[in-house]
Structure 1
């Protein structure tokens, strides 16, 4: 009798073990299937990507993106370098057109969030989101901004899109770029200016350190007059972007803290970070700006 009971218990335990193995195998297959069909899981291919690109306009506004390891991103990367015109679309994105359509098979859908680089297949355009947008079944993920995300909104006109390699930037170039990063002190607030490598900007830099009286105009800009004239390369502008640093005439540097349309001509000098805070610095009663290294 005891042998029979033992045999039944042992047989029951074996049955439970086999059922457990079958359940685990089913769970494994379910996870693999979810990973294959879930766009969010498929998007993890970006972790293995080493493709980076740089987008730069003619005013030295730059944004750097890392591309995902997807067919669409790879087919875009293969088209580089590109020189194309970037356009405003709606109130949250910039768009441009690649040379040819991208391969979207097995490419995850994009999450239309700030800093996203995506491909809208119906119109064959590439989208750069600077504010969150609406999802779409035909919007495919290409990459995300890793540097200069706030500059996406400022891109304008012709842009150059190139493959970015960290080891191709020489130390000499790094030093040169650092030397063009200067400061504007208004009261207790310090603003960082990135000046262009141009004759006008270099002449402006040679006058540092310099203290001038500032004034406010039209609720969108601060300006000052210098004692000396600068060389100019004035271009007619259609739109001023937040953060623009420009020269009006030959002796009037201007710092813009709002976007607006214009028909005036300016010489572009560079960009200022945290431009929205310029208005507050002015409102606090500060009437001088110190340009310094």
Structure 2
């Protein structure tokens, strides 16, 4: 159990930060980073042996994704990106249609998009801020991969997010591109 001490300075309360508390905070930050890397590594290890934080819509507790189902690969040319699927009905439905290969068209210098063969459950909401690596559904059939951050007045349903989008814009390029979405097993 961590106890937060408060120190009074100039009549206001501030968290006391002793050397041991700063070490603990740094250690917790490092532990979180390590867990993120291990999660991505586990996905990669399973994928090699086989040779090859979103919740906008309400979901029944029994419908939650199992850890092995919450990750997938997005392959663009020679680059592979781990995608963390959203734990909502849209993310669940997308996971069920994998593997999937799409020829995605360029739009606005910030996204690639393609229409899916069948509609997915959509619970769209206004995003306001789109981030590099967001995997979203526009309407009920258009899958969109964003590779630049910007503000948006449009509504989307969350599908997932690229865990580490470094190099995503370069991999996707300036024109249309073929993208594979694969189960991470």
User: Scaled by the length of structure 2, what TM-score is found?
Assistant: 0.67
Deviation at 1:228, TM superposition (A): 0.7
Residue in structure 2 matching 1:197, options 74, 87, 95: 87
Deviation at 1:261, TM superposition (A): 0.7
Q: 1:252 is matched with which residue?
A: 142
Deviations 1:97-135 (A, max 9, x none): xxx95542x624x9xxxxxxxxxxxxxxxxxxxxxxxxx
Q: 1:207 is matched with which residue?
A: 97
Structure 2 residues without counterparts, runs of 5 or longer: 6-11, 37-52, 55-63
Q: Is the contact between residue 187 and residue 286 of structure 1 (CA under 8 Å) also seen in structure 2?
A: no
Q: Is the contact between residue 232 and residue 267 of structure 1 (CA under 8 Å) also seen in structure 2?
A: yes
Q: 1:221 to 1:141 in 2, by over 3 A?
A: farther
Structure 1 residues without counterparts, runs of 5 or longer: 1-50, 52-72, 77-99, 111-139, 157-172
Q: 1:60 is matched with which residue?
A: none
Q: 2:119 is matched with which residue?
A: 229
Distance in 1 separating the partners of 2:24 and 2:107: 41
Distance in 2 separating the partners of 1:259 and 1:238: 11
Please give the root-mean-square deviation of Cα atoms over the aligned residues, in Å: 3.3
Taking the TM superposition and a 5 Å limit, the aligned residue runs for 1:17-32 are: none
Q: 1:269 is matched with which residue?
A: 159
Q: Secondary structure at the match of 2:153?
A: coil
Pair 1:107 & 2:18 matched? yes
Deviation at 1:148, TM superposition (A): 4.5
Q: Is the contact between residue 256 and residue 275 of structure 1 (CA under 8 Å) also seen in structure 2?
A: no
Distance in 1 separating the partners of 2:175 and 2:160: 25
- Indicate the structure with greater helix content: 1
Q: 1:209 to 1:74 in 2, by over 3 A?
A: same
Q: 2:49 is matched with which residue?
A: none
Q: 1:75 is matched with which residue?
A: 4
Q: Is the contact between residue 127 and residue 152 of structure 2 (CA under 8 Å) also seen in structure 1?
A: yes
Q: Is the contact between residue 75 and residue 102 of structure 1 (CA under 8 Å) also seen in structure 2?
A: no
Larger radius of gyration: 1
Q: Is the contact between residue 137 and residue 157 of structure 2 (CA under 8 Å) also seen in structure 1?
A: yes
| Paired residue total | 148
Q: Is the contact between residue 106 and residue 175 of structure 2 (CA under 8 Å) also seen in structure 1?
A: no
Distance in 2 separating the partners of 1:236 and 1:242: 17
Deviation at 1:183, TM superposition (A): 0.8
Distance in 1 separating the partners of 2:171 and 2:126: 29
Q: Is the contact between residue 212 and residue 224 of structure 1 (CA under 8 Å) also seen in structure 2?
A: yes
Q: Is the contact between residue 79 and residue 171 of structure 2 (CA under 8 Å) also seen in structure 1?
A: yes
Deviation at 1:141, TM superposition (A): 7.7
Q: Secondary structure at the match of 1:288?
A: strand
Deviations 1:223-242 (A, max 9, x none): 22111100011011111122
Distance in 2 separating the partners of 1:238 and 1:185: 27
Q: Is the contact between residue 130 and residue 146 of structure 2 (CA under 8 Å) also seen in structure 1?
A: yes
Deviation at 1:275, TM superposition (A): 1.8
Which structure would you say has the larger RCO, counting Cα contacts within 8 Å and 6 or more residues apart? 2
Q: 2:178 is matched with which residue?
A: 288
